[in-house]
Structure 1
């Protein structure tokens, strides 16, 4: 669980509600269901329209990273690679074959399989680095879905405000119905700006940060596997990879 995300949400809500209270407003004045429907529904709909199906599905899949980030530790991975290198020195690269079946990560599995198959080191690097870049582009595009929501939300909020003002003009002769219509106008604008700047854009940036972390972790694996393929000493491999711990 990512505690910083939860802390950030708490701070954001506290700032909005607290600021409204200090201005003399009641918290229930910030709740308006028609405005919420316009802003949230319109924003999601606009973002879905512009997003290809495979990117949308990936965006939904990686959304969980906001609260539950991908778990991997560089230090633990380095120890794992050093363990592979010790096996390779004692039994040869074919000795790594027994590890492939028990490995769950497809990237590691692919790299180990190429080591066992005797694929030249530079070819292994080329194939795995291409996989890293393609996955990074795909996940970055998926994170961009939430950024696009952040771009649309303020504009949809303005649309909600215009709708509210239309209702105001339609009931200009009935003062009792002016209040709810004006509420939609102002609250919709608030929802649009808040949704963009307190949620959508921070979520997109956090997901991109996780995408970069995964890419760095995968590059660590590539450098380790290439060192094993080149027959480097396990201690030298550990020293070389220690730079990833900075």
Structure 2
């Protein structure tokens, strides 16, 4: 929602000022400049990154525009599903978790939280973190460094789209100049055709410069920053999960393992300790 509001403000302020100064949109409609700007930018994107990074960039952009990123309800679902798993492991032994971790899609616990279950990456992280505890293949104090390494790998992968968008944002003003220079070259070939023709060609050339600068600073760079904030929120989510799982592996009571996760988050993202305890107990009793 805020992305749309911001875009409306940017467009409204720019073109509103243009119209108030006596301009009209027809002066900005020069399709060859659009082809040059967007075509060269697309080519730069293809050159600068592998295919999987470009696909990830598209997904990250769509996610940012949708306002992706864990919210309060997402954290509550996470804490409830972890608490239920931890309680089951405490009551019935760690082997009781095996059926849930092996097939989360058919798990009676995971199925209570469809939004969490739909996020395959987060489900996989949780299950793969619990798996070595169930199998007894790792000591409790060795688990968190393992999870940290996985989070660092996710962080590195998530930075790819930011690198691509940074490059495009930095390149667009220069690409706009390239489009403008092409327009000036064409203008030099019609110097004998009068002021009106020359003025139209120069106007078209300057449109390329305008588009490059406008798209870079009005949209690409802010979008890059938004994706970076989203990546930080995702990283916090995984850190929260890893701390809670590590605490459970070390023998903390389920409620305290989840409480550790709660304390690692901003207050606006989670309820108070007493409220969370009531929510967790009502979830398991239900």
How does the TM-score come out when normalised to structure 1? 0.92
The equivalent of 2:205 in structure 1 is 185
State whether residues 45 and 54 of structure 2, in contact with CA within 8 Å, keep that contact through their aligned partners in structure 1. no
Report which structure shows greater RCO (CA 8 Å, sep ≥6): 1
Give SS of 2:192's match: coil
The more displaced of 144-153 and 21-30 is 21-30
CA distance in 2, matches of 1:31, 1:212: 39
The more displaced of 76-85 and 219-228 is 76-85
- Counterpart of 2:124 (choices 106, 117, 122) is 106
CA distance in 2, matches of 1:109, 1:23: 61
For structure 1, which runs of at least 5 residues remain unmatched after alignment? Answer: none
Give SS of 1:231's match: coil
The more displaced of 220-229 and 123-132 is 123-132
CA distance in 2, matches of 1:232, 1:131: 23
Is 2:92 aligned against 1:91?
yes
The equivalent of 2:192 in structure 1 is 173
State whether residues 245 and 257 of structure 2, in contact with CA within 8 Å, keep that contact through their aligned partners in structure 1. no
CA distance in 2, matches of 1:84, 1:166: 69
State whether residues 125 and 226 of structure 1, in contact with CA within 8 Å, keep that contact through their aligned partners in structure 2. yes
Structure 1 residue ranges (4+ consecutive) displaced by more than 4 angstroms after TM superposition: none
CA distance in 1, matches of 2:9, 2:25: 16
Is 2:227 aligned against 1:226?
no
CA distance in 2, matches of 1:239, 1:70: 21
CA distance in 2, matches of 1:114, 1:29: 65
The equivalent of 2:49 in structure 1 is 51
For structure 2, which runs of at least 5 residues remain unmatched after alignment? Answer: 105-116, 267-286
Paired residues, what number? Answer: 244
The more displaced of 114-123 and 210-219 is 114-123
Note the C-alpha offset of 1:123: 2.7
The equivalent of 1:132 in structure 2 is 151
RMSD: 1.7
Note the C-alpha offset of 1:194: 0.8
Is 2:150 aligned against 1:147?
no
Note the C-alpha offset of 1:70: 4.2
Give SS of 2:191's match: coil
